[in-house]
Amino acid sequence: MAEFKDISPNATAGAKLNNWLNNRFPTAYDAYKVHMSEYYAPKNFNFWYFFGSLALLVLVIQIVTGIFLVMHYKPDANLAFASVEYIMRDVPWGWLIRYMHSTGASAFFVVVYLHMFKALIYGSYRKPRELVWIFGCLIFLMLMAEAFFGYLLPWGQMSYWGAQVIVNLFAAVPFIGPDLALLIRGDYVVSDATLNRFFSFHVIAIPLVLLGLVVAHLLALHDVGSNNPDGIDIKAKDYPKDASGHSVDGIPFHPYYSVHDMVGVGVFLMVFSAIIFFAPELGGYFLEYNNFIPADPLKTPPHIAPVWYFTPFYSMLRATTDIMVNVFCVILALAAVFAVLRMRLSTMAKGAVIVGALVAILLLKVFDAKFWGVVVMGVSVIILFFLPWLDKSPVRSIRYRPGWHKWVYGIFVVWFFVLGYLGIQAPSDVKTLVAQVGTLYYFGFFLLMPWWSRLGTFKPVPDRITFAAH
């Protein structure tokens, strides 16, 4: 048994209480030291580093508001929409809780997308932080699942038909598709069984997995240390240390960054509150107007689209037509010819490349475009997991890469916004063509990264991180 720490009988009541807790729960105090007061982070964090803590804040908001919503919500196809209206109209402050939850869903994706973009431009996924990035991508996948399951619960028109369309996509999977869609729905159409399944996943299953991944993400980050805008590892063995053995350019997370993050929290809460009180629907992007109409299986909305944070990927799905499949076949054939003629491969390797390309082209032509659209949508997310091994740049941060790399990243962001916008709009030939170009750029950005990320003249990386007091 560990020895108790003594304290002076003349100590204050607060000090005595702190000592009492420390003696009985030292693990919590050790965790506080490891992850807060004695966790040294680079001293040159900028505003991009607000979004990790903001994501944690929104997660707490979603869990707390979700608990209060579940107290009054009825997961029944005949009562769900009415129970949401009851929360909005009759439950004291129910409208505020509901709007906090619905706005929080969009806010979650806003801060997560910005958090991922920060990692992209500063190379935070590079060695030794590959596992941190993979946990982050798994969190992103779980967020998408959580949002999808929760979207059906209000049982409005767009909720109902959006779930109908998305679940039917699984029916496009060869051989097992119809049975898979039936398993997800629990019925032949979206019904009460579907609502109950989605409710259980949204309230219990996915949040538990999500919380576990968040903990793993933070633990893995604190094991290898945080990245910084310069992309220089301050925990490297040869980095200058002070007398206590810590990096000379590191500062304790608490109180420095815990206070620093409060600035970001304050600004975020002002924007968050302004949306809740003045524009909770945000022009139909955060809450679609059709979702204020009860679900009607006999009346299809004129245009069905997912919520804005899914639309870039949904746009890629819709862009995958028969013409797009033919373009994929041509790209595969050209890539195989390039590999055989220009790359130094053995005869056996060249044969394998040719056979692999022929098999891939055959598969593209055998299965219909709808199936490949589902594949494209899924791969557009899965490809993010491989980013640490696709980026071959000799430096981490965008600061020390060639200037034209910034244009590559900038155009990628523009196309992501364009795809998101097109996913909300009703389809047309011109919009489909634009979405196809955006889809090709999206995948080209990642698949060609091993090549283009090494090109250009790179700036010399300093021995120590750069920092200007502010």
Q: What is the CATH number of the domain that holds 217?
A: 1.20.810.10
Same domain for 44 and 185, yes or no, is yes
pLDDT of residue 470: 59
Residue 300 included in any domain:
no
CA-based max dimension of the chain: 84
- Residue 232 near residue 157, CB atoms below 8 Å: no
The tokens for 109 are 């994706």
pLDDT of 194 strictly over 50: yes
Distance CA 374, CA 22 (A): 54
Residue 1 lies in a domain: no
Residues 314 and 285 in one domain: no
* Better-scored residue on pLDDT, 131 or 341: 131
pLDDT band at 341 (very low <50, low <70, confident <90, very high): confident
| C-alpha to C-alpha distance for 426 and 466, rounded to whole angstroms | 48
Same domain, 45 and 137: yes
Lowest mean pLDDT among 83-97, 295-309, 314-328, 388-402: 295-309
Strands 250-252 and 40-42: antiparallel
Region 105-110: what's the mean pLDDT? 96
271 and 328 housed in the same domain: no
Task: Examine the domain organization and report whether 251 and 390 are in the same domain.
Answer: no
Q: Does residue 274 sit in the same domain as residue 322?
A: no
User: According to the model, what pLDDT value does residue 1 have?
Assistant: 47
Per-residue pLDDT, 173 = 85
Domain that holds residue 171: 27-292
Crossing angle (nearest 10°) for helices 157-169 and 192-200: 80
Query: Does residue 461 fall inside a structural domain?
Result: no
pTM for the full model? 0.94
For 19-44, how does the pLDDT look when each residue is reduced to its tens digit (9 = 90+)? 888 888 888 888 888 888 888 999 99
Say yes or no: 242 and 344 in one domain. Answer: no
- Give the model's confidence band at 175: pLDDT under 50 very low, under 70 low, under 90 confident, else very high: confident
**Range scoring the smallest mean pLDDT among 58-62, 381-385, 424-428:** 424-428
The arithmetic mean of pLDDT across residues 427-443, rounded, is 95
DSSP assignment letter at 457:
P
Confirm whether 460 is domain-assigned.
no
Give the pLDDT score at 3: 63
Is position 303 within any domain?
no
Number of domains forming the structure of the chain: 2
Residue 10 has which token pair? 């003349």
Percent of the chain with pLDDT over 70: 99
Using omega within 30 degrees of 0 as the cis cutoff, is the peptide bond preceding 255 cis?
yes
Beta-carbon neighbour count of residue 76 at 10 Å?
15
Residue 9 inside a domain? The answer is no
Q: Is residue 13 part of a domain?
A: no
In terms of domains, do 218 and 346 share one? no
* Domain co-membership, 288 together with 365: no
The answer to whether 99 touches 281, Cβ cutoff 8 Å, is no
What is residue 2's predicted lDDT score, i.e. its pLDDT?
54
